[in-house]
Amino acid sequence: MSKLNSVGKSEIRKDAVSKVTGESLFINDVKFPDMLYAATVRSPAPHIKILGINDAEARKLPGVKGIYYAKDIPGENKVPLVFQDYPFLADKTAQFQGQAVGLVVADDPISARRAAALVKIKYKELPAVFDPLEALRKKSPKIYGKDNVFKKFVIKKGDIKKAKADVEIEDTFTVNYQVHAYLETQGAIAVPRDDGGMNVYGSMQCPFYVQDAVAKVLGETYNKVKIVQQTTGGAFGGKEDVPSIVCGHAAMLARLTGKPVKLIYSREEDFQSMSKRHPGWVKIKYGAKKNGKIVFCKVKYILDGGAFATLSPIVLWRGTVHASGPYEIDNVLIETYAAATNKVPCGAYRGFGQPQVSFANESLIDMLAEKLNMNPARLREINAIRKGGTTATNQKITESIGLLKTMALSKKSAGWAKKWKKPSARKGVKKYGIGMASSIYGVGLGAGGQHLAKSGSFVQIEPDGSVIIAVGNTEMGQGARTVLSQIAAETLGAPYEIVDMMPTDTSRVPDSGPTVASRTTVMSGTSVMNACKVIRGRIDKVVRKKLKAKGKVLSENGFYKIGNKKISYTEVIAECWAERVHLSHAGWFRVEGTTFGEKDGQGDPYYVYTWSTMIAEVEVDTETGLVEVLNFISAHDIGKAINPREAEGQIQGGSLQGIGYALSENLVIVKGRMLNPNFTGYIIPTIMDSPDIKPIIVEEKYPKGPYGAKGLGEPPLICAAPAIANAIYNATGKRIKALPMIPERVKCA
* pLDDT of 30 over the 90 cut: yes
Nearest CA to 144 out of 217, 235, 83 is that of 83
* pLDDT of 622 over the 50 cut: yes
Are 190 and 247 spatial neighbours (Cβ–Cβ below 8 Å)? yes
Indicate the pairing of strand 198-202 with strand 225-229: parallel
Are 521 and 706 spatial neighbours (Cβ–Cβ below 8 Å)? yes
Nearest CA to 96 out of 50, 140, 44 is that of 44
Which CATH superfamily is 31-126+186-264 part of? Aldehyde oxidase/xanthine dehydrogenase, a/b hammerhead (3.90.1170.50)
Helix axes 720-732, 354-371, angle to 10 degrees: 30
Angstrom distance (rounded) from CA 189 to CA 171: 49
Q: Which residues contact 316 (CB under 8 A, 6 or more apart)?
A: 150, 151, 152, 153, 301, 303, 336, 337, 338, 353
Instruction: Give 484's DSSP letter.
Output: H
Angstrom distance (rounded) from CA 93 to CA 470: 43
Residue 481 CB neighbour total at 10 angstroms: 21
Angstrom distance (rounded) from CA 293 to CA 684: 39
From the number of C-beta atoms within 10 Å of its C-beta (0-12, 13-18, 19+), residue 152 rates as middle
Residue 136 carries which side chain, given as an amino acid letter?
Answer: L
Summarize the confidence of residues 429-450 as an average pLDDT: 95
Fold of 280-447+596-748: Aldehyde Oxidoreductase; domain 4 (3.30.365)
For the stretch 249-288, pLDDT in tens is 999 999 999 999 999 999 999 999 999 999 999 999 999 9
* pLDDT of 712 over the 90 cut: yes
- What residue segments make up the domains of the chain, in order of their start? 16-23+454-590, 31-126+186-264, 280-447+596-748
Confidence of residue 451 (pLDDT cuts 50, 70, 90): confident
Angstrom distance (rounded) from CA 564 to CA 691: 51
Please enumerate, as own/partner, the contacts of 745-749 that have beta carbons within 8 Å and a separation of 24 or more: 745/625, 746/620, 746/625, 746/626, 746/627, 747/622, 747/623, 747/624, 747/625, 748/625
For residue 3, what pLDDT is reported? 84
For residue 2, what pLDDT is reported? 58
Within its chain, how far is the Cα of 167 from the centroid?
A: 37
Q: State the chain's mean pLDDT as an integer.
A: 97
For the stretch 295-306, pLDDT in tens is 999 999 999 999
Helices (H), 548-601: 569-578
For the stretch 167-199, pLDDT in tens is 999 999 999 999 999 999 999 999 999 999 999
Query: Domain 16-23+454-590 carries which CATH code?
Result: 3.30.365.10
* pLDDT of 728 over the 90 cut: yes
* pLDDT of 134 over the 60 cut: yes
Residue 583's SS3 state is coil
Angstrom distance (rounded) from CA 392 to CA 369: 21
Share of the chain above pLDDT 90, in %: 97
Are 681 and 414 spatial neighbours (Cβ–Cβ below 8 Å)? no
Residue 512's SS3 state is coil
Residue 143's SS3 state is coil
- Report DSSP letters for 672-691, one per residue: TEES--STTTS----GGG--
Confidence of residue 1 (pLDDT cuts 50, 70, 90): very low
Angstrom distance (rounded) from CA 482 to CA 116: 42
Nearest CA to 565 out of 584, 583, 585, 543 is that of 543
Instruction: Give 255's DSSP letter.
Output: H
Are 369 and 362 spatial neighbours (Cβ–Cβ below 8 Å)? no
List residues bridging with 619 in a β-sheet. 432, 628
For the stretch 336-358, pLDDT in tens is 999 999 999 999 999 999 999 99
Angstrom distance (rounded) from CA 67 to CA 103: 6
Angstrom distance (rounded) from CA 582 to CA 592: 30
For the stretch 511-553, pLDDT in tens is 999 999 889 999 999 999 999 999 999 999 999 999 999 999 9
Summarize the confidence of residues 138-143 as an average pLDDT: 96
**Who has greater pLDDT, 572 or 422?**
572
Q: What is the 3-state secondary structure (H, E, C) of 624-662?
A: CCCEEEEEEEEEEECECCCCHHHHHHHHHHHHHHHHHHH
Residue 193's SS3 state is coil
Angstrom distance (rounded) from CA 387 to CA 402: 9
H or E, element range at 39: strand 36-42
Domains 16-23+454-590 and 31-126+186-264 share a fold: no
Using CA atoms of 80, 83, 88, 89 in order, give the dihedral in degrees to the nearest 10: 160
Angstrom distance (rounded) from CA 453 to CA 236: 19
